[in-house]
């Protein structure tokens, strides 16, 4: 069975996430929710979960879903109603934090890509939300990305993110201020290194001393929301602190006994689920399935990145996404490519033996099934530039695949994967009739080589960090 290919890579065996741990990268709540299926409190907790229908059929053409990859839109809501009214007044509802969490179980990795709330983008038209006068919909226009949620709810925000990024979104998770505090308190607080004293009246009167300390829910919320009281006051510096905090929370959850005690898990969920909202297809059973598939992920392979950006030419206080770096990042996500650095030996998978395959070890025949004259020779030149050996070119005989495909014979799977890693879009598929030469068949979806020419890691021009990089200790 063929699938869209993303680089296979081995992962370090230290500090693995258990079933429940990896959720810290996307709000911490999801996997621990999924872990509850074995406990008597499951049904009571399940009834607390808020769910919302998102009709993706109304989106029109959507990005292609990559088999085996789950993309979750993560929203930190700034809603100020109910228990959140203590955090001041705000007109409408916009995402305080917006990110795409990509789960790659076959790669044993995860990507978390922040979309800055100050981004000025091309917004699509959205319908009004039935029964909500405060969600009138919107015409297509240019504006800040968070406007989509305010004018058309989660459905409009989901549609906007898909159209801007070309990444197929499978689910959404939204947590408000109260839910965030509950998560932090239920794990006993989160240790952090605070480099300088912090005072910020606009972040709930936040006051923190410099040095290592354990943040409770209230202080943690102020810390991740604070702008003017820390750094340069920008949303970008705040995103970096949020990434550090998520990494620190992940370390706390996976290093203690949080996940070994049914009581701890139930306490966590009781404090969180009333403030957690998901789409109606992301129930606790689905969360549990996702948790199980991601239990082998190492913190070294959870990558945090922010969309490349710079000041907007019309307003230096707003951002525009930098090209081509932003598109290269979104292309990697759309194709299910891990952003973790590929600096480890790839272990054996039962086909082709252990160890990585270098381009010069791969011999490939290029078959042009596109009808574009001269494309096979052009692609052959690109392969030679990347140190692959080209055994020849030709035209197809018989049926051709719908997608660009690298076929391989016995013992040659890693050779085919090494070639596919260099292509923007490709599948790999076995063909026992082939010998030691793999066969690249260019089909109608041919989209060239990867922009960076790299088979893994963060694309050029994109800065990234891992969950292991979180500053917990000082000095």
Residues 337 and 225 in one domain: yes
In a domain, 448, yes or no: no
DSSP class of residue 244 equals H
The candidate with the shortest Cα–Cα distance to 410, out of 379, 435, 378, 381, is 435
Distance CA 265, CA 40 (A): 12
Distance CA 441, CA 395 (A): 9
Mean pLDDT for 376-388 is 89
Residues 161 and 294 in one domain: yes
In a domain, 73, yes or no: yes
Residues 227 and 82 in one domain: yes
Mean pLDDT for 220-249 is 79
Say what the pLDDT of residue 3 is.
35
Confidence of residue 467 (pLDDT cuts 50, 70, 90): low
Greater pLDDT, 162 or 284: 162
Give the DSSP per-residue string, 133-159.
TT---B-SEEEETTHHHHHHHHHHHHH
pTM: 0.65
Say what the pLDDT of residue 106 is.
85
Mean pLDDT for 87-95 is 53
Q: How many helices (H) and strands (E) does the chain have?
A: 11, 21
Lowest mean per-residue pLDDT among 5-14, 196-205, 269-278: 5-14
Residues 161 and 297 in one domain: yes
Distance CA 131, CA 264 (A): 39
- Say which CATH number the domain at 401 has: 3.30.70.2390
In a domain, 2, yes or no: no
Q: Is the dihedral of CA 227, 228, 229, 231 positive or negative?
A: positive
Q: 472 by DSSP, 3-state: which?
A: coil
Distance CA 330, CA 151 (A): 25
Greater pLDDT, 257 or 171: 171
Residues 68 and 135 in one domain: yes
Residues 270 and 371 in one domain: no
In a domain, 5, yes or no: no
In a domain, 385, yes or no: yes
Give the DSSP per-residue string, 366-389.
EEE-S--TTHHHHHHHHHHHTTPE
Say what the pLDDT of residue 258 is.
61
Mean pLDDT for 12-24 is 32
Confidence of residue 448 (pLDDT cuts 50, 70, 90): confident
In a domain, 311, yes or no: yes
Distance CA 20, CA 161 (A): 27
Q: 396 by DSSP, 3-state: which?
A: coil
Residues 428 and 328 in one domain: no
- Say which CATH number the domain at 322 has: 3.40.630.190
Indicate the burial class of 428 (C-beta count within 10 angstroms; 0-12, 13-18, 19 or more).
buried
Residues 43 and 157 in one domain: yes
Task: Check pLDDT > 60 for residue 80.
Answer: no
Q: Are strands 109-114 and 302-306 parallel, antiparallel or unpaired?
A: parallel
The candidate with the shortest Cα–Cα distance to 107, out of 278, 344, 320, is 344
Distance CA 165, CA 147 (A): 17
Q: Specify the residue for token string 């370090």.
A: 12
Mean pLDDT for 59-71 is 92
Helices 217-225 and 235-255 meet at what angle, rounded to 10?
150
Say what the pLDDT of residue 8 is.
34
The candidate with the shortest Cα–Cα distance to 418, out of 426, 105, 460, 410, is 426
Task: Check pLDDT > 70 for residue 305.
Answer: yes
Greater pLDDT, 196 or 76: 196
The count of domains in the chain is 2
Task: Check pLDDT > 60 for residue 26.
Answer: no
Q: Find the domain containing 336 and state its range.
A: 21-342+462-469
In a domain, 145, yes or no: yes
Residues 323 and 177 in one domain: yes
What confidence tens digit (pLDDT) does each residue in 314-362 have? 998 899 999 888 998 999 999 898 887 654 333 334 444 445 688 999 9
Residues 48 and 168 in one domain: yes
Say what the pLDDT of residue 266 is.
62
DSSP class of residue 36 equals G
In a domain, 155, yes or no: yes
Which two structure tokens, joined as six digits, stand for 247? 């990494």
Lowest mean per-residue pLDDT among 22-26, 48-52, 353-357: 22-26
User: Please, what is the Cα angle at 19 between 329 and 464, to 5 degrees?
Assistant: 25
Task: Check pLDDT > 80 for residue 223.
Answer: yes
What confidence tens digit (pLDDT) does each residue in 172-184 have? 988 777 777 877 8
Residues 373 and 327 in one domain: no
Say what the pLDDT of residue 221 is.
85
Say what the pLDDT of residue 165 is.
96
Residues 171 and 320 in one domain: yes
Which two structure tokens, joined as six digits, stand for 401? 């695949």
Lowest mean per-residue pLDDT among 93-107, 125-139, 385-399: 93-107
Say what the pLDDT of residue 86 is.
45
Distance CA 367, CA 349 (A): 27
């Amino acid at each position: 069975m063929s699938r869209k290919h993303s680089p296979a890579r081995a992962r370090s065996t230290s500090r693995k996430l258990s079933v429940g741990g990896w959720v810290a990268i996307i709000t911490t709540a999801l996997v621990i929710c999924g872990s509850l299926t074995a406990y008597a409190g499951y049904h009571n907790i399940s009834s607390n979960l808020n769910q919302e229908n998102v009709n993706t059929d109304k989106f029109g053409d959507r990005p292609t879903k990559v088999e085996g990859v789950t993309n979750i839109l993560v929203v930190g809501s700034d809603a100020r109603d109910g228990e959140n009214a203590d955090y001041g007044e705000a007109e409408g509802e916009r995402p305080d934090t917006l990110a795409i969490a990509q789960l790659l179980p076959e790669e044993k990795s995860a990507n978390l890509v922040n979309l800055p709330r100050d981004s000025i983008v091309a917004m699509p038209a959205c319908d009004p939300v039935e029964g909500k006068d405060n969600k009138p919909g919107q015409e297509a226009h240019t504006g800040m990305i968070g406007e989509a949620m305010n004018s058309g709810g989660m459905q409009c925000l989901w549609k906007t993110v898909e159209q801007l990024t070309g990444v197929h979104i499978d689910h959404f998770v939204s947590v408000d201020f109260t839910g965030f505090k509950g998560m932090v308190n239920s794990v006993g607080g989160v240790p952090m290194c605070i480099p300088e004293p912090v005072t910020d009246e606009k972040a709930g009167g936040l006051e923190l001393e410099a040095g290592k300390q354990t943040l409770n829910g209230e202080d943690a919320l102020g810390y991740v929301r604070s702008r003017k009281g820390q750094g340069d006051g920008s949303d970008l510096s705040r995103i970096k602190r949020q990434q550090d905090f998520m990494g620190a929370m992940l370390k706390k959850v996976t290093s203690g006994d949080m996940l070994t005690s049914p009581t701890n898990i139930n306490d966590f969920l009781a404090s969180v689920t009333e403030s957690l909202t998901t789409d109606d297809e992301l129930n606790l059973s689905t969360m549990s399935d996702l948790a199980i598939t991601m239990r082998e992920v190492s913190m070294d392979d959870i990558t945090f990145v922010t969309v490349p950006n710079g000041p907007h030419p019309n307003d230096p206080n707003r951002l525009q996404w930098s090209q081509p770096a932003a598109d290269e990042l979104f292309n990697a996500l759309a194709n299910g490519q891990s952003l973790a650095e590929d600096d480890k030996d790839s272990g054996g998978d039962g086909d082709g033996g252990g160890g990585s395959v270098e381009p010069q070890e791969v011999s490939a025949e290029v078959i042009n099934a596109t009808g574009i004259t001269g494309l096979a020779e052009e692609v052959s030149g690109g392969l030679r530039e990347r140190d692959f050996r080209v055994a020849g070119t030709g035209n197809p005989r018989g049926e051709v695949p719908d997608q660009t495909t690298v076929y391989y014979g016995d013992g040659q799977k890693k050779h085919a994967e090494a070639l596919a890693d260099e292509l923007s879009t490709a599948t790999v598929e076995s063909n026992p009739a082939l010998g030691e030469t793999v066969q690249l068949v260019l089909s109608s979806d041919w989209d060239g080589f990867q922009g960076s020419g790299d088979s893994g890691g963060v694309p050029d021009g994109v800065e990234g960090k891992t969950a292991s990089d979180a500053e917990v200790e000082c000095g």
